[in-house]
Amino acid sequence: MQQPPVEWLQQLDDILTASTGDAEADEALVARVLELDPDFLQFLIDRVSEQETGQSAGFLAALVAQSAAPEAIREHARIALDTLEQQGIHPPISGEEQFYAGYVTESRERGEQIMLLGWQMPDSKIEALVFLLDWRTDGVRDFYRTRSMTLTEWQQLLAHNSEKGGPLVTISPAEARTLIEQAHEVRKRFSRPEPREYRLERQVIERRLFDGIVARPMTRTFLPVALSAEEIVRAYTNALHHRDYTLLAMLLAEDSMLRNGHELNETIANLQAQMKHQPRREEEAVIVTEADSPDGHDSARTRFTVEGRAISVEKGGKRRAVPVRESVTLVLEPDGWRILSVQEC
């Protein structure tokens, strides 16, 4: 899939932030965005509809009602709005709280992410639910609900967590629900309790993220594009050690033999079925860049040798370490370096 221009992504974030769900404000915002590139408007409509919120439905409704908009743009928005309304998602009614915006850190390779979800209150203040997702032990490690904040305070909260947890990307309520469900699976696997504040706010969380929200299959990796090939390989060794099959699937190239043409969710399930009974890898491993790339000096491919150990437990309970040596080939894709193949050597 071709990546959209960087300036489009920046414009998208600016528009999502400016969209409040207020009918008059959205009408003014639509009048402004109509001055932008028509191709970008098509992209904007698709991305806004993916938010699957009353706020996005309100923006699309304002665009449909804008007589100055080209008919092709209005029709595209009308189709997107109809799709949302068929799912029971309608423009907000004045006086009700509504989803404002959601963000999650691109830090999946670290085994944890910060997720911030904001709702606009009837008084135009913003209230946020903040989650610390731990993909290796706790599931939801920490949680808190903020007091009502001004827009400036909300932006300060985003900036603080971006500095602390990594780059933030937008996330829809449906994707947020999926992440929370996956985090609970991790928590149950390790028999960890929910955070106290999460238990206290359970009704609010379920009302905002589970009532009427349909979970969406995982399609994004939440990995920073800037990760080096060696950092991807290190994330691979960590994923094997922690049996983090979701991260392992995210590290694979689209044409990887380990993926075998499957979508991300199918790949996760397949890897878990194939590898859950294999000996656990030690976290520490030696990673060495091979002298030549697989295709001579192709800058879009590289290869590393990984030397580590797999720990098996014999019938009597004795632990045995078995040396493992692998050749890992990576390819540079639009989203960054990804693993194309892994071969024992």
Per-residue pLDDT of 194-233, as tens digits, reads 999 999 999 999 999 988 787 778 888 899 999 999 999 9
Which residues, 6+ apart, have CB-to-CB distance to 290 below 8 Å? 302, 303, 304, 305, 327
Q: What is the dihedral of CA 72, 76, 82, 84, to 10 degrees?
A: -160
Residue 224 maps to a domain:
no
CA 136 to each of CA 142, 208, 224, 242, 298: distance values in angstroms, whole numbers, following the listed order: 14, 26, 19, 6, 35
Q: Are residues 252 and 339 in the same domain?
A: yes
The answer, yes or no, to whether residue 308 has pLDDT greater than 80, is: yes
pLDDT value at 165 more than 60: yes
CA distances from 189 to 135, 176, 185, 214 (A): 11, 20, 6, 23
pLDDT at 244: 94
For the full predicted model, state whether its pTM sits above 0.75.
no
Domain count, the chain: 3
* 229-274 pLDDT tens trace: 999 999 999 999 999 999 999 999 999 988 988 999 899 999 999 8
> In this predicted structure, what is the pLDDT of residue 1?
43
Judged against a pLDDT cut of 70, whether residue 8 lies above it is answered with no
Considering the domain boundaries, does residue 214 fall inside one? no
Say if residue 306 is in the same domain as residue 332: yes
Rounded to an integer, what distance in angstroms lies between the CA atom of residue 229 and that of residue 287? 11
The values of phi and psi at residue 102, to 5°, are: -135, 145
The tens digit of pLDDT for each residue in 74-89 reads 888 888 888 887 777 7
CA distances to 268, 270, 271, 279 from 274, in Å: 10, 6, 5, 12
Do residues 38 and 112 share a domain? no
**Alpha helices per DSSP H over the chain:** 6-18, 23-33, 38-50, 54-64, 71-86, 151-165, 173-189, 196-200, 202-209, 229-242, 245-250, 264-275
Residue 176 confidence class, pLDDT cut points 50, 70, 90: very high
Tokens of 11: 């414009």
Range of the domain at 139: 98-209
Residue 220 counted as domain residue: no
Confirm whether 16 is domain-assigned.
yes
CB burial readout 152-180, b (16+ within 10 A) else e:
eebeebbeebbeebbebebbbbbbbbbbb
Same domain flag for 173 and 109: yes
The fraction of the chain above a pLDDT of 70, given in percent, is 88
Which of 251, 248, 327 has the alpha carbon at shortest distance from 289?
327
Distances (CA, A) of 78 to 23, 72, 197: 17, 10, 41
Res 325: pLDDT: 94
Report how far residue 308's alpha carbon sits from residue 283's, in angstroms, rounded to the nearest whole number.
Answer: 8
Whether residue 222 contacts residue 135, with contact meaning beta carbons closer than 8 Å, is answered with no
CA–CA separation, 101 vs 55, rounded Å? Answer: 9
Q: What is the CATH number of the domain that holds 308?
A: 3.10.450.50
Q: Do 330 and 233 fall within a single domain?
A: yes
Q: Average pLDDT, whole number, for the chain?
A: 85
Domain final residue pick, 177, 209, 241: 209
pLDDT at position 23: 60
Among 5-14, 46-55, 168-177, 200-209, the range scoring the smallest mean pLDDT is 5-14
Q: Is pLDDT of 35 > 80?
A: no
Looking at 32, 64, 86, the residue that finishes a domain is 86
The pLDDT score that the predictor gives to residue 2 is: 52
Is the model's pLDDT at 174 over the cut of 60? yes
CB 145 within 8 A of CB 195: no
Whether residue 10 has pLDDT greater than 80 = no
Looking at per-residue confidence, does 291 or 298 come out higher?
298
- Among candidates 79, 10, 13, which has minimal Cα distance to 42? 79
The answer on 246 and 170 residing in a single domain is no
| Spatial contact of 79 and 64, defined as CB atoms under 8 Å apart | no
Q: Are 87 and 70 in contact (CB under 8 A)?
A: no
CA separation for the pair 134, 171 (Å, rounded):
18
Residue 132 belongs to what H/E stretch? strand 126-134
Q: Answer with the one of 35, 51, 86 that is the final residue of a domain.
A: 86
